[in-house]
C-alpha cells in the first residue's frame, strides 16, 4: 500500500466517527420531534399542557426586566467561560506544553515550600478561573441585592410539571411563548438555577481540589480524593459547553433582536439593533482573546507573576 493510500485511509477514518455521531444525533432528534408531536395529539397530554402552560407564576415582588449590570455579567460570563473551556481542554489534551510557569514566591502569596512548576496552559486556566470566581461573587451579591434571584430560583413545586410542559413544547417545535423580560419559562428557570447554584460551585470546588493550592496532606483528602474531583470536573465542563450551545441557539431562534436587547441593552425593544451590536462586538472581542491566548502573547503577562521557562 502506498503512503498516499495510508494517508487517505487515516483521513477517512478520522472523519468517519464524527460523521456517524452527527448522523445518529440527527436521527435521534428527528425521532424525538415526531414522538413529541404525537404525544401532543393525545387528549390527556393536551389537558396537561393546559393545566401547566410551561411557566410558574412569578413571585410577588420579583423585579421586571434586566438591569444594566446584568448585561455586563452576560458578557463577562460568556468571555470567561469560553476561554476557560478552551484552556481547560488544552490542559487535558496537551502532553508537551510549549512553556512552563513557576510562581514568584516573593510576591503577595508566600509559601514555606517552593512553588510547583506548572504548564503555561494551566497557569492561564487557573488565572481565568480566579477572575471568573471573582466575577461570580459580584454576580451573586448583585443577584440577591437587587431581587433578581427571584427570577431564577424555584419558589413553587409546580415549576417541575411546567418544566416538563415547556420541554415537550420545545421538542415538538411548537415552542412556548417567550416572555423573558417578565418571567422565564420553568425549563429556563431550572436550567439557570442549575447553572448558577449547582454547576458553577461544582466547577469551583473540584477545580480547587485539583489545583496545587489544595493541601496535599489534608484530612479530607481521604474522603475527597483528587480522582473524584477529576471525574466530576470534566462532566461539568461538558455541561457548560452544552448550556452555551443550547442557550445561544434558543436566544437567536426565539426572537434574536428582542432577546439580545434584553441581555445586552437592558430594554424590551423588538426592533432596536443596539443589543445585537453589543453582542456582535462581544463576539469579536472574545474571538480576538481566543486567538491571542497562545504562548507568544501569554508569556509577557505570566512573567509578571512568576518565571516562564521551557
DSSP string across 43-94 = HHHHHHHHH--S-PPPPTT---S--HHHHHHHHHHHHHHHHHHHHHHHHHH-
Residue labelled with grid coordinates 506548572: 118
Per-residue cell: 27: 436521527
pLDDT at 1: 53
| Cβ pair 154, 184 in contact under 8 A | no
What local confidence, expressed as pLDDT, does residue 31 receive? Answer: 92
Say what the pLDDT of residue 175 is.
83
For residues 309 and 293, what is the distance between their CA atoms, to the nearest angstrom? Answer: 17
- Which pLDDT does position 107 carry in this prediction? 66
Q: Work out the burial of residue 95: count CB atoms within 10 Å of its CB; fewer than 13 is exposed, 13-18 middle, 19 or more buried.
A: exposed
Which residues, 6 or more positions from 60, have their beta carbon under 8 angstroms from its beta carbon?
A: none
286 Ramachandran zone, left/alpha/beta (phi>0; psi -120 to 50): alpha
Q: What pLDDT is recorded for position 8? A: 54
What the block records as the C-alpha cell of 143 is 443577584
Contact 263, 275 (CB under 8 A): yes
**pLDDT value at residue 2:** 53
The pLDDT, as a whole number, for residue 6 is 53
Cell of 101: 510557569
Which portions of the chain are predicted below pLDDT 70? 1-14, 107-111
The Cα–Cα gap between 49 and 164 comes to 9
How far apart (Å, rounded) are the C-alpha atoms in residues 156 and 167?
Answer: 18
CA nearest to 279, candidates 300, 302, 257: 257
Which of 125, 46, 60 shows the shortest CA–CA distance to 90? 125
Q: If you write DSSP's letter for every residue of 233-274 in order, what string do you get? A: HHHHHHHHHHHHHHHHHHHHHTTHHHHHIIIII-S--SS--H
Amino acid at each position: 500500500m502506498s503512503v498516499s493510500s495510508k494517508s487517505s485511509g487515516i483521513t477517512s477514518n478520522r472523519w468517519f466517527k464524527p460523521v456517524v455521531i452527527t448522523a445518529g444525533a440527527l436521527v435521534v432528534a428527528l425521532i424525538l420531534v415526531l414522538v413529541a408531536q404525537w404525544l401532543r395529539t393525545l387528549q390527556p397530554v393536551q389537558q396537561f399542557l393546559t393545566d401547566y402552560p410551561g411557566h410558574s407564576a412569578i413571585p410577588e415582588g420579583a423585579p421586571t426586566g434586566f438591569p444594566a449590570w446584568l448585561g455586563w455579567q452576560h458578557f463577562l460570563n460568556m468571555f470567561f467561560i469560553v476561554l476557560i473551556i478552551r484552556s481547560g481542554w488544552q490542559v487535558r489534551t496537551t502532553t508537551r506544553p510549549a512553556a512552563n510557569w513557576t510562581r514568584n514566591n516573593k510576591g503577595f502569596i508566600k509559601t514555606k515550600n517552593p512553588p510547583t512548576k506548572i504548564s503555561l496552559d494551566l497557569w492561564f486556566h487557573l488565572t481565568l478561573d480566579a477572575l471568573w470566581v471573582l466575577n461570580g461573587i459580584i454576580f451573586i451579591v448583585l443577584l440577591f441585592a437587587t431581587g433578581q434571584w427571584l427570577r431564577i430560583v424555584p419558589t413553587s413545586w409546580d415549576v417541575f410539571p411546567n418544566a416538563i410542559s415547556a420541554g415537550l413544547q420545545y421538542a415538538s417545535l411548537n415552542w412556548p411563548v417567550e416572555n423573558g423580560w417578565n418571567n422565564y419559562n420553568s425549563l429556563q428557570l431550572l436550567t439557570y438555577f442549575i447553572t448558577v447554584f449547582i454547576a458553577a460551585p461544582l466547577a469551583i470546588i473540584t477545580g480547587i481540589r485539583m489545583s496545587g493550592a489544595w493541601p496535599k496532606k489534608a484530612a479530607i483528602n481521604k474522603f475527597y480524593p483528587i480522582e473524584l474531583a477529576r471525574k466530576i470536573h470534566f462532566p461539568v465542563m461538558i455541561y457548560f459547553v452544552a448550556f452555551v450551545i443550547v442557550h445561544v441557539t434558543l436566544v437567536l431562534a426565539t426572537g434574536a433582536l428582542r432577546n439580545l436587547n434584553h441581555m445586552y441593552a437592558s430594554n424590551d425593544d423588538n426592533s432596536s439593533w443596539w443589543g445585537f451590536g453589543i453582542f456582535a462586538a462581544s463576539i469579536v472581542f472574545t474571538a480576538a482573546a481566543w486567538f491571542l491566548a497562545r504562548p507568544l502573547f501569554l508569556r509577557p503577562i505570566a512573567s509578571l507573576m512568576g518565571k516562564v521557562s521551557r
